[in-house]
A and B are shown apart, each in its own frame.
Chain A
Amino acid sequence: MLIINNFSKTYKGGKKAVDNISLKVEAGDIFGFIGHNGAGKSTTIKSVVGVLDYEEGEILIDGHSMKKEPLICKKVIAYIPDNPDLYEHLTGIQYLNLIADIFGIPAAIRKEKIKKYADDFEITGNLGDLVSSYSHGMKQKLAIISAVIHEPKLLALDEPFVGLDPKAAVVLKKIMRELCESGSAIFFSTHVLDVAEKLCNKVAMIHHGKLAFSGAMEDMLRKKEGGSLEEIFMEVVNHE
């Protein structure tokens, strides 16, 4: 579903944020992307979803190049940034309708999906309010609903659990699992290593822009007998 080949990203001024990384996310995967602050996680995710342009390497979504066929790629992906800046001048339902219109979701299906997810997140009553009146967590919930109503083949999330209350975090994990069971792939960054360890079947660790590990979660945990993902992460970070 997602193939990243020899991808590098250099910002203006010569700073190399990501240095020659390659990884593969397959349908049904919940792929965790971990690393310290400034390691290059967000840069990679933003490039995967087409927010950032890139010069080196290749990013393929469902077999299509994000660089050459961005519209085809974007039709099957959904992205939720770490800080969801949504259109604050719209109401929640207007925002969801905007996204649904962009993806061409028929009226009946969008109503069914919105109802299901908004009820799960308990924000149906707030959909008539302006987004500007929403708390960070509510914006996050709205962003998640807007991301999943078109059943994306690849869902890319940047720190999705930040700002969510415990109940909403459970709902999100349930949605992630349901999507994977229906054949979609999840690629998400997180600092919450316990969640990554329990939720993901695959994991990649990025350190100073370079890939320190990429593979199955079991293989990662096998690196340190009886150790947790957190302990392995700390070992990598401190081993400089």
Chain B
Amino acid sequence: MNNIDVKTQTKNLCWLLVKNRLMAQLGINVFRYEKDTHKRNSKIATTVAIIICVIMLGGYCGGMAYGYAYLGMMELIPSTAMVISSLFTLFFTMFKANGELFGFKDYDMVLSLPVPVRTIINSRFLNMYLWNTFITSLVMFPMGIVYAFFAKPALGFYIMWLVGIFLTCLIPTTVAAVFGAIITAISSKFRYASAVSTILCIGFVIVFMVFSMTITTTDTGLGEMFNSETGDIDKEAFSAIAPVISDSLNQVYPPAKLFTKAVVNGSFGAFLIFAGISVGWYGLFVLLLSVKYRQINTALTSHRSRADYKLETLHQGSMLFALYKKTIMRILKSTVCATNMLVGCVLAVLLAIGMLIAGPEKVVQSLNASDYMYIVKSAACYVIAAMVCMTNTSAISLALEGKNIWLIKSLPISPKTLYDSYLLTNLTFTVPTSIVCSVLFSISLKTGFIGTLIMILTPLTFSLFTAVAGIFIGNRMAYYDWQEETQLIKQSMMSGIGMLGGMVLISICGIIANIGILPITTNMITFILNILFLILTAVIYLNESNRGVKE
């Protein structure tokens, strides 16, 4: 075999691996060959929901770009497009690094094949690159169209923008992969690697959020952007603030400056530097990684085995507590599960602490909405509830049993006990978070007795409701033959409805209670809503308790 043949074969092998991975991720064979109509329909429904989200993301980005153009801040479009798509890439890659780039399930099988290690790495990165480029195009394509429509740039813009779509994700992919590798390398040294990985991931998100908030803060309030007499948008004020925002964005992500310079000023030089840095950085990373790739994966896929256990006193516990312990450990020991499921609670606590430290007056003042402090007070309980209820573990708990479902079905466990264990797990996360956040908000907003009571009661009511509703969702939509947790947590209908459904419902309730369309006080509306939802919770709970576990 000559060199050309070897090269061709290597290229094909890489594509073969990528194609195989894409088929698994997209579930193409489910569409083509699945005979179970329920499974097929469920897949179709999930795909339709994802397509709708994709269209919404594209529409949102296009709308944002239109807003910038309308306000005369067109130069912000390129840097904003780049920062948004880079942030998407960063988070998407970091949370997928372990399991996608490192420590993936079929590692042993792939490595036993006559495929060079470099080809395996390339295939994994190529797969990640394709997904990230897809997300980047969703952001940059509509924003680019809007920019082109308003700015009417020269031909060079179109070339640079299109090529830019394919280059933008390279740097954030590698940065995220480095972080992902560091997190997985550190956590692999611990016995409870997944728990450590989860804490590090959440810690990274918090640090990143605090960092980005610190460097993008400006002294200009939103109120200054509007004409105080007419209430109309002040375009001049917006144009004046554009360079400040642009500088902030460039601070967050320096390559955005090069890209902006290239497409706004038509500077091919700046574009070539941007392209060179992106490709060079990416290539260097893959090259360096290939040297240590096998060692990293071996460390990740090797399990600690001490084999020195001595049987000591054992304790008997109740069936419910045993199942509860099992479920809570299942969620906390899975990085994908914990980071996605607990993000709502983490954000709620961060917001409550932020509110307490910065003070509500400052927050309200910066929005130039001092006159509306009473709305902030009465809407706060809905904000807490909406964030906390994003943590809906009960919706996915049954499906999380996966291949272990045979145990649940063959053991003498009543459906009610099983559901109660899922509910308790969910409430373990949401109830303490709700109480802590409510108390912190009550202190910072200086609410009265009734206000504090409502502030505490509302998130608790919605926590209960969404947890029970999660059981209802899970028991109808659960499936057990998933291959990867990511599929279940990030791409399933039950997870999406569980996480976002509660948030949407609570937001609607919050709007109804606060816009003054009903002839009673906001507190009274909120109280009535609490009672109604508690009754609804009880009805769903009683109904579900008598329902068997989904086949």
Chain A residues engaging chain B, CB cutoff 8 angstroms = 12-13, 46, 49-51, 53, 71, 74-75, 77, 79, 81, 85-87, 89-90, 92-94, 97-107, 110-111, 114-115, 118, 124-130, 132-133
Contact = CB atoms under 8 A, between A and B. Distances in A.
Given A71-B412, A106-B316, 13 more contacts: A13-B36, A49-B410, A87-B326, A98-B325, A101-B318, A114-B314, A125-B307, A127-B309, A128-B308, A128-B309, A130-B303, A130-B304, A133-B304
A86 B388 CA distance: 32
Nearest to B403: A85
A100 B330 CA distance: 19
Contacts of A129: 303-307, 309
B306 to A, nearest CB: 6
Contacts of B308: 125, 128
A86 B191 CA distance: 19
Given A87-B326, A124-B309, A100 B316 contact: yes
B404 A51 contact: no
Given A13-B35, A127-B309, A101 B322 contact: yes
A126 B305 contact: yes
16 contacts: A50-B410, A74-B410, A74-B412, A75-B412, A87-B326, A87-B330, A98-B322, A100-B314, A105-B316, A107-B313, A107-B315, A107-B316, A110-B314, A114-B314, A128-B308, A132-B303
Contact of B311 (A75, A85, A90, A115): A115
A126 B330 contact: no
Contacts of B318: 101
Contact of B36 (A12, A100, A125, A128): A12
Interface in B76-118: none
A53 B410 CA distance: 11
B317 A101 contact: yes
B551 interface: yes
Contact of B406 (A85, A111, A133): A85
A12 B35 contact: yes
Interface of B: 35-37, 191, 194, 303-311, 313-319, 321-323, 325-326, 329-330, 333-334, 402-407, 409-414, 551
B303 to A, nearest CB: 3
B119 to A, nearest CB: 28
Contact of A79 (B194, B321, B326, B410): B410
Contact of B314 (A13, A51, A107, A124): A107
B326 A51 contact: no
B309 A93 contact: yes
Contact of A90 (B303, B316, B326): B326
Nearest to A156: B410
Contacts of A110: 314, 316
Which of B37, B329, B403, B406 has the largest number of chain A CB atoms within 10 A? B406
A127 B406 contact: no
B309 A89 contact: no
A66 to B, nearest CB: 11
Nearest to A146: B407
B404 to A, nearest CB: 5
Which of B191, B326, B333, B410 has the largest number of chain A CB atoms within 10 A? B410
Nearest to A78: B410
Nearest to A12: B36
Given A12-B35, A51-B406, A103 B412 contact: yes
**Which A-B residue pairs are the 3 nearest by beta carbons?**
A128-B309, A133-B303, A101-B322
A111 B303 contact: no
Nearest to B308: A125
A13 to B, nearest CB: 5
A183 to B, nearest CB: 20
A4 B500 CA distance: 47
A85 B404 contact: yes
A236 to B, nearest CB: 29
Contacts of B322: 97-98, 101-102
Contact of B334 (A49, A89, A125): A89
A74 B406 CA distance: 12
A49 to B, nearest CB: 5
A20 to B, nearest CB: 22
Contacts of B321: 101
Contacts of A103: 411-412
Contacts of B37: 12
A81 B304 contact: no
